[in-house]
Chains A and B, each alone.
Chain A
């Protein structure tokens, strides 16, 4: 009870500090001393209040204080401590508090770390960031207060949805939010740099660190969500083109494009309009993501029951921010005419620009696929859904030039390049095409587009590998990320082409058999845990080579709330994953069994880690150079 009280009032205090800060910074715009003395300490104070509030919510969860409505709705006394804590941000109210925490944290670090920039710029960035922060404070306090009081105090809570009780999903939201909210700092500082007309090479170097940071977190956050979906949802895939996944992919695409733009800006002082628009887009898409996921508008397999009223607030807030930023862009930004029309057709910046257009195309495909069903529902109340074939068809063909460009682009020089000493490029291309052709032929796959796609991914793969040896440490970060990307595409393609699946219904003691695999349902164990009972089914699986595996998928029946979940049993190796999941159909003695062999699953995860590792190296290098 006391926690809720303290938590609530420190939120209110945080809001007051926010308003004060807003007023102060406006009034003393040119005063450098005010920044160092008052503003910094006030920013820290605001961060401190939000931390207090967040800790209070965590404590309320830990001690199971059911007088707090959020705790009552999402926790239970028998839940393990780890999930009591992670339950703090596993719900709408708590996750917004986490947003706010990261928002205030980032602006504090920003003011602390930014030393060589003008005071005006820092203060203006703070003003924009405070607009966002104040908006979130009001949203939190008015529509989704995490400290609502319940009376009479319930004896027991409703519990956390069991599929969320999982280590990967416990850390997935904080990591993803660091990426999402990190884009808010980029948004604010880009706006203030535009308004002060100080977009330049040195500014690009400064903001690049922030872009890299949020890009790394966003990449890892998406990865965690994907791993979770793979083993917990039991569909045996890692990406479903589900709206909730799409809304995290869209900011990622925008941020990746932005990252490439800022490198061009840093080197050649061009593409400043791209940078501004993309920064606005990234943050807006992140906000949209929160809005779409939390408002219940999305018709998604991920949807958790939600309150549509909250959506209206975020929507209005979003419109204000977009309007404000576009206003600043059109009124203050004058593109530097001298620099803008100097693109030679064969140069590094042209290749980056081309791939930026491709990424914008991918982004619009995902955007349309995600938003169109909502749009159609509103205007004609027709219910539709857009499936994976839509995305595959529209994205796959364009991946080919995209990959080729990714391979060749870094080989070109800035400003103007030629084809001298580029003979090895053609050799590697021919090798890749032959290799792809022979691999697919030996497995009896004859689809042309796959051959071309695999060739181009292999091409990127070989070129980046060659660079590890030839160039050693030059452009290491970019090379690692591009290498990771080629590995990702290759693993996804081979995974799709060579996965096999058996779905059958089996009774205890029965055997399923086909030409490739023999599945024997050996026995059933049962086990009792603190907050769930489980049925463990033991299978012996023999493949055509005579290899034998014992796999034991589990079926858990949680007691609070009463929900059954399937825990897949996965045998992972570097070559392939064996994945089995069972389900019990009501009142029947048949088990619904799904067995899959998924090649190169491990490499999908490894390649995404490599991609973000490239970003990390670039970030560390930046700090060293200083």
Chain B
């Protein structure tokens, strides 16, 4: 038989390992649920199934597409190939303007309508989020 000390040490190792595995599983599961994917208007057009989870859509705000009333803001995000209508009621970042890059976070209603819950700010007028740059560069 093994001594008591060896048994204890064995138990300790088992506990450490099971905690580690449990933690990893927990983190990975939570990641899966809370990750937000980024898509361009073209990606959305090509979707087989409509995404139900929260996503981010990025591209350029189309010229003369912004309209506003007391409750909401409507505009069109374009990647020069395809476009998508966005409705939004919430705070607008400073650098939100027609002809500039934008990233909107929210839910798809159908292939042409997107209901945004957040519009992301950028810090610099020359700076374009890498995803938007890529989405626009694919044209």
Q: Verify that A and B bind, or say they do not.
A: yes
**Distance between Cα atoms of A28 and B70 in the complex (Å):** 76
Chain A residue contacts of B91, Cβ below 8 A = 234-235, 503, 581, 583, 592, 594
* Chain B residues, Cβ within 8 Å of A135: none
Contact B23 A304 (CB under 8 A): no
Across the interface, B68 reaches (CB within 8 A) one of A299, A304, A503, A588, namely A588
Give a binary string over A572-603; 1 marks a CB under 8 Å from any B CB, 0 the rest: 00000000010101111010101000000000
Write out the residue numbers on chain B whose beta carbons fall within 8 Å of the beta carbon of A394.
Answer: 26-27, 30
List chain A residues, Cβ under 8 A from B31: 368-369, 372, 386, 390
Across the interface, do B30 and A383 meet the contact criterion of CB distance under 8 Å? no
**B64 CB, min distance to chain A CBs, angstroms:** 8
Of B78-86, B93-101, B108-116, the stretch lying at the interface with chain A is: B93-101
For residue A301, which residues in chain B have a CB less than 8 angstroms away from its CB?
120-123
Residue A305, interface by CB 8 Å = yes
Query: Is there an interface contact between B96 and A585, defined as CB atoms closer than 8 Å?
Result: yes
Does B130 touch A at the CB level, under 8 Å?
Answer: yes
Q: Is B38 an interface residue (CB 8 A)?
A: yes
Expressed in whole angstroms, the Cα–Cα distance for A365 and B31 within the complex equals 10
Taking a contact as CB atoms under 8 Å apart, the answer to whether B125 and A504 are in contact is no
A-side contacts of B89, CB under 8 Å:
503
Name which of A180-188, A544-552, A561-569 contacts chain B.
Answer: A561-569
A233: which B residues are within 8 A, CB to CB? 121
Given contacts A361-B23, A505-B69, A562-B125, contact A387 B34 (CB under 8 A): yes
Q: Which residues of A contact B98 (CB under 8 A)?
A: 586-587
- Mask of A480-509 contacts with B, CB within 8 angstroms, 1/0: 000000000000000000000001111000
Task: Compute how far the CA of A303 lies from the CA of B56 in the bound complex, rounded to whole angstroms.
Answer: 18
In the complex, how many angstroms separate the beta carbon of A591 from the nearest chain B beta carbon?
10
Q: Which residue of A lies closest to B40 (CB)?
A: A383
Contacts of A385 in B (CB 8 A): 35-36, 38, 56
Distance of A221 from chain B, by nearest CB (Å): 19
Are A386 and B123 within 8 A (Cβ)? no
Is there a chain A Cβ closer than 8 Å to B2's Cβ?
no
Q: Judging by beta carbons under 8 Å apart, are B96 and A365 in contact? A: no
CB within 8 Å of A: which of B16-38?
23, 26-27, 30-31, 33-38
Task: Out of B56, B120, B124, name the residue touching A305 (CB < 8 Å).
Answer: B124
Question: B residues within 8 A CB of A586?
Answer: 66, 96-98
Q: Which chain A residues in 354-391 approach chain B with CB under 8 Å?
A: 361, 364-365, 368-369, 372, 382-387, 389-390
Per-position 1/0 for A325-337, Cβ under 8 A of B: 0000000000000
A166 interface residue (CB < 8 Å to B): no
Instruction: Check B68–A585 contact: CB distance below 8 A.
Output: yes
Q: Which residues of A contact B95 (CB under 8 A)?
A: 563-564
Residues in chain A near residue B126, CB distance under 8 A: 305
For A158, give the chain B residue with the smallest CB separation.
Answer: B126
Which residue of chain B has the shortest Cβ distance to A302 in the bound complex? B123
In contact, B70 and A504 (Cβ under 8 angstroms): yes
| Distance of A557 from chain B, by nearest CB (Å) | 10
Are B35 and A383 interface neighbours, CB within 8 A? no
B4 at the interface (CB under 8 A from A): no
Bound Cα distance from A303 to B130, whole angstroms: 10
Question: Is the interface on chain B under 10, 10 to 19, 20 to 34, or 35 or more residues?
Answer: 35 or more
Q: Whole-angstrom distance from the CB of A146 to the nearest CB of chain B?
A: 20
Interface of A is mostly: mixed
Chain A residue nearest to B90 (CB atoms) is A503
Interface string of B101-139 (1 = CB under 8 A from A): 000000000000000000011111111011100000000
Indicate if the CB atoms of A384 and B37 lie closer than 8 Å: yes
A368 and B31 alpha carbons, distance in the complex (Å): 9
Check B70–A563 contact: CB distance below 8 A: no
Whether the pair B127, A303 counts as a contact (CB closer than 8 A) is yes
Flag whether A163 is at the interface (Cβ < 8 A): yes
Q: Which residue of chain B is the closest to A596 with respect to CB atoms?
A: B91
Find the B residue at minimum CB distance from A587.
B66
CA distance A372 to B28 in the complex (A): 10
Whole-angstrom distance between the alpha carbons of A302 and B125 in the complex? 13
Residue of A nearest to B67 (CB): A588
Q: Is A115 an interface residue (CB 8 A)?
A: no
Known: A564-B94, A585-B73. A161 touches B124 (CB 8 A): yes
Contact mask B40-75 → A, CB, 8 Å, 1/0?
A: 000000000000000010000000001111111100
Q: Do A384 and B70 touch (CB < 8 A)?
A: no
Are the C-beta atoms of B66 and A393 separated by less than 8 Å? no
A510 part of interface (Cβ distance < 8 Å) = yes
**Nearest CB in chain A to that of B126: its residue:** A305
Indicate whether B14 reaches chain A with its CB closer than 8 angstroms.
no
- Which residues from chain A contact B33 at a C-beta distance below 8 Å? 389-390
B-chain residues with CB within 8 Å of residue A389 when the two chains form the complex: 33-34
Residue on B nearest A594 in the bound complex, by CB: B91
Q: Given known contacts A382-B37, A384-B35, A390-B34, is B56 in contact with A585 (CB within 8 Å)?
A: no
- B92 an interface residue at 8 Å Cβ cutoff? yes
What are 23 pairs between A and B in contact, CB < 8 Å?
A161-B123, A234-B93, A301-B121, A301-B123, A303-B127, A305-B124, A361-B23, A369-B31, A385-B35, A385-B38, A386-B31, A390-B35, A394-B26, A394-B27, A504-B70, A510-B70, A562-B125, A563-B125, A583-B92, A583-B96, A585-B66, A586-B98, A594-B91
Seen from chain A, the residues whose Cβ lies within 8 Å of a Cβ on chain B are: 161, 163, 233-235, 299, 301-305, 361, 364-365, 368-369, 372, 382-387, 389-390, 393-394, 503-506, 510, 512, 561-566, 581, 583, 585-588, 590, 592, 594
Given contacts A364-B27, A384-B37, 7 further A-B contacts (CB under 8 A): A299-B130, A304-B123, A369-B31, A386-B36, A393-B34, A394-B27, A563-B94
Partner-A contacts on B (CB < 8 A): 23, 26-27, 30-31, 33-38, 56, 66-73, 89-98, 120-127, 129-131
**Top 7 closest pairs, chain A to chain B, by CB:** A383-B38, A390-B34, A594-B91, A592-B92, A586-B97, A590-B68, A384-B35
